[in-house]
Chains A and B, each alone.
Chain A
């Protein structure tokens, strides 16, 4: 089950118990004819922000909306903030549903659903002028008079009505599903599809629970929105013709690893990486695999490296602090040239930092973290779909180049839910079982290998010559035996470097988004891709010569970037990290070091939130002055 559903279920658990209340069970509400409403407007997309406390199950509403959009062939992207405290606390979930391409979670919301006074106070400003705030009038008591004309206010006694609708037990759990009904009414969403989603969610449970959830939804749907003068209808989606799946980036990574043939993983819990390990722990046994919760990150990376050595690329992962702990072992994997996949779901750092905020400040540790010269591959997926495929690529690169590969994602994509075309799993799934057949002779670190790449044979492989290899962190000869020879250290260091230089030459050259010449090139990586592309679209619509460039392969970098940069007057690297001691973010510093090009400058921020389109453009315009 998806992490999202899991989350929703644990929240739902409480109100489900309450739904079992016999009084409630006897109440059946069927959808009737909605109340009188003046106008239905066709809209191409909608940004809905749901603000409440994390225990209210607002992620579940968001999840339902995202899945509904996926089934309606609409594009969808979500954004959420979750408090890091376990006892709940303010939390938001923003869904952007569009009939065309959706590139970011949206700068401004069309609609705000506010459960509490704090939700109203803190998020009213996120609405566009003329947007609708739908608030729970049982909790939101003080409206801002100056904003009454700016935003359309619709007060509904959500808590009280929920209690009333489901039997008056005095508890308002279940108001998330009631609110979903209200939203369904306002946005003219498909009731049969939402019913089906609710049914699917609760299948396997007591059938009366499904019925009760439906009743709760219907109560919200049938509530007459007397004060809402306008209802909305989303234009039908354009992406007809393929099935869509809806999931979070973390889920996509876990599923990608399974598709790639990974059958062993080890990790230690840390937000936001934990979802991936939890999912792998649940899923791997079905494939004959194991996921071990290690005693710490060092043990986890070591187990994964041991399993990789035993013949099949294994995975470990973490977030900032845990990645730091893994770096000594990463150095070993670099030295021994052991394939390995390390997932780093970045969060605000350093140290425990901002554990539930988005930041891209681990690029340095991913590319350079560790002692000695320890080349490794670093990849950064940009969307949920990309997470799935990049996880597979990470495995393939680790195998092909016998190297550790770090997959760098961030809190932004990790928890965001998106719809994407369903992969053809029969084609995508791959078998990476080790070849244990006997071999005449073998030198893993063969300096004369035509392609210059190290290849290991797994234990269990008989070597007819009787000469067995050792894998080691000491500098070694071709069989892996230790050496202090400067000549060999030079040759082996070069071997480890050259194979990744070779990879650099094989990497696809990224394509410019927009014309290949202009004033400003916005360069980004990871989750910045969508916002940058949307910024480019917005700027070009306003007649500005702005293009975008997304860099997925961070280390080594692909070739051809220099030529791309030549087409622009300014190259701005848009990153969620600090401008650093010398004025450049982490990728910008690498690009400057590589190209010595003074055009390269940084647009950085560390407010823990994803990019707004307006922010990028305002900063770019100011910098280009």
Chain B
């Protein structure tokens, strides 16, 4: 046999420091995580930033739904909103700009035991990550994606974003944005997302309701959450904030969430539009279809060890 210069070695988890045994902790003995237990770094957002509210409601959902630290994985790309994972006391990843969805897909597809939540901004989702958004939706990968839409590039300090309204002045469009903004609802529906919801950080109960519904959905669940950038686009969402004289209008209960065309028309309502679940259907997730492919293949090799399965390939190559 050709010998390996680097054969398999079991990895010790600390690099030589003795491991302290950890007593088992049955679920029945666990209490819901408190806000204190689930918060990590103090958020670096500007005071008054809409993102605080989204974070607080994520904590609330974790507590309410009795999710355990180790079962949640929080993933984000780059942006103000994308700093989210640092503020959550759980496994998390802060990945590169625009690519949080494929990263999270890798987790979701290989680890069905985890809840995968992805947070990010409008630029991250619809500009640099636009293609990933479409394909993750199309593949219906089981995860929840909350886009904290502030209609501006916050982290890089006020450039036009793909959701910036026409005419909005920014550092890159001093005379006002001239490019037609993306309509996140339409984008998600047409890409094939199976759960499409819209909420606003200023309506906490509604955010929680949407997050819970998204988490319970078996598939790619997408929420657009209006989240004001008080620093660079203050007042952007006043029209949807009753306290500021606006109107937070819910989608009428008569709306059929499985009707794609109705959802599309709803998404056409004039600014600030309506809030709630636009579209929700059940379509097999990629997680499920891959599991089926695996089950079919495994059925043909039952009782065989991995090396015996591989041996069959080698036998064909003699």
Contacts and interface: CB of A to CB of B under 8 A. Distances in A.
Query: Are A and B genuine complex partners?
Result: yes
Interface of A: 1-2, 67, 70-71, 200, 243-247, 251, 255, 258-259, 261, 263-264, 266, 283, 285-290, 292, 294-296, 298-300, 302-312, 314, 328-329, 332, 336, 385-386, 388-389, 392-393, 396-397, 399-400, 421-432, 435, 437-442, 446, 449-453, 455, 457-464, 466-474, 481-482, 507-508
A622 B131 CA distance: 53
Contacts of B41: 481
Given A287-B306, A396-B9, A470-B86, A309 B93 contact: yes
A308 B132 CA distance: 19
A2 B316 contact: yes
Q: Name the 9 nearest CB pairs between A and B, nearest first.
A: A306-B106, A459-B91, A302-B102, A285-B297, A307-B106, A440-B20, A303-B106, A449-B15, A429-B307
Given A302-B95, A470-B86, A482-B86, A422 B314 contact: yes
18 contacts: A67-B318, A266-B106, A285-B294, A295-B135, A302-B96, A303-B106, A314-B110, A393-B6, A425-B310, A425-B314, A435-B13, A446-B17, A450-B16, A455-B15, A458-B91, A466-B37, A468-B89, A508-B5
Contact of B69 (A303, A435, A455, A462): A462
Contacts of A424: 1
B163 interface: no
Given A461-B91, A472-B93, 8 more contacts: A200-B316, A286-B297, A396-B6, A446-B14, A469-B91, A470-B86, A471-B92, A482-B94
Nearest to B21: A440
Contacts, number: 267
B113 interface: yes
A70 to B, nearest CB: 7
A255 B13 contact: no
B124 to A, nearest CB: 13
Output the residue of A292, A452, A459 with the most chain B CB within 10 A: A459
Contacts of A397: 6
B111 A389 contact: no
Contacts of A392: 4, 8
A295 B137 CA distance: 12
Output the residue of A422, A431, A460 with the most chain B CB within 10 A: A460
Given A424-B1, A482-B86, A285 B296 contact: yes
Contact of B132 (A258, A295, A481): A295
A306 B310 contact: no
Contacts of B6: 393, 396-397, 400
Contacts of B24: 438
B13 A427 contact: no
A310 B106 contact: yes
Interface in B1-32: 1-2, 4-9, 11-17, 19-22, 24-25
Interface residues of B, number: 77
Nearest to B74: A470
A458 B71 CA distance: 11
A329 B96 CA distance: 7
A311 B37 CA distance: 24
A299 to B, nearest CB: 4
B249 interface: no
B2 to A, nearest CB: 5
Given A439-B19, A470-B92, A299 B132 contact: yes
Given A255-B310, A425-B311, A459 B70 contact: yes
Interface in B303-318: 305-311, 313-314, 316-318
B67 interface: no
Contact of A429 (B19, B102, B310): B310
A427 B13 CA distance: 24
Interface in B261-318: 286, 290, 293-294, 296-298, 300-301, 305-311, 313-314, 316-318
A440 B13 CA distance: 11
B105 interface: yes
A300 B313 contact: no
Contact of B94 (A1, A290, A471): A471
B15 A451 contact: yes
B96 A332 contact: yes
B5 A302 contact: no
Contact of B102 (A261, A298, A328, A473): A298
A299 B69 contact: no
B309 A446 contact: no
A465 to B, nearest CB: 10
B123 interface: no
Contacts of A246: 317-318
B85 interface: yes
A312 B24 CA distance: 24
Nearest to A394: B6
A70 B316 CA distance: 12
B107 interface: yes
A497 to B, nearest CB: 17
Given A294-B102, A306-B103, A392-B4, A472 B94 contact: yes
Interface in B48-92: 68-71, 73, 75, 85-86, 89-92
A310 to B, nearest CB: 4
A449 B16 contact: yes
A400 B132 contact: no
Given A310-B106, A438-B22, A302 B290 contact: no
Contact of B314 (A245, A336, A439, A462): A245
Output the residue of B293, B294, B306, B314 with the most chain A CB within 10 A: B306
Given A245-B317, A425-B310, A471 B93 contact: yes
A302 B298 contact: no
A462 B111 CA distance: 15
B109 A473 contact: no
Contacts of A441: 20
B110 A245 contact: no
A282 B22 CA distance: 40
B104 interface: yes
Contacts of B4: 389, 392-393, 396
B68 A462 contact: yes
Nearest to A473: B96
Nearest to A401: B6
B198 interface: no
Contact of B107 (A307, A432, A452, A482): A307
B317 A2 contact: yes
Nearest to A287: B306
B1 A393 contact: no
A402 to B, nearest CB: 9
Contacts of A473: 94-96
Contact of B2 (A258, A423, A481): A423
Output the residue of A303, A312, A332 with the most chain B CB within 10 A: A303
A567 B19 CA distance: 49
Contact of A459 (B25, B107, B134, B307): B107
B178 interface: no
B135 A306 contact: no
A471 B86 CA distance: 9
A299 B102 contact: yes
B109 A455 contact: no
Contacts of B111: 310-311, 458-460
Contacts of A428: 1, 307
B142 interface: no
B93 A258 contact: no
Nearest to A247: B317
Given A430-B8, A461-B70, A468 B15 contact: no
Given A287-B306, A305-B106, A307-B109, A438 B25 contact: yes
A389 B2 contact: yes
Contact of A285 (B7, B85, B293, B316): B293
Contacts of B296: 285
Nearest to B297: A285
Contacts of B313: 255, 283
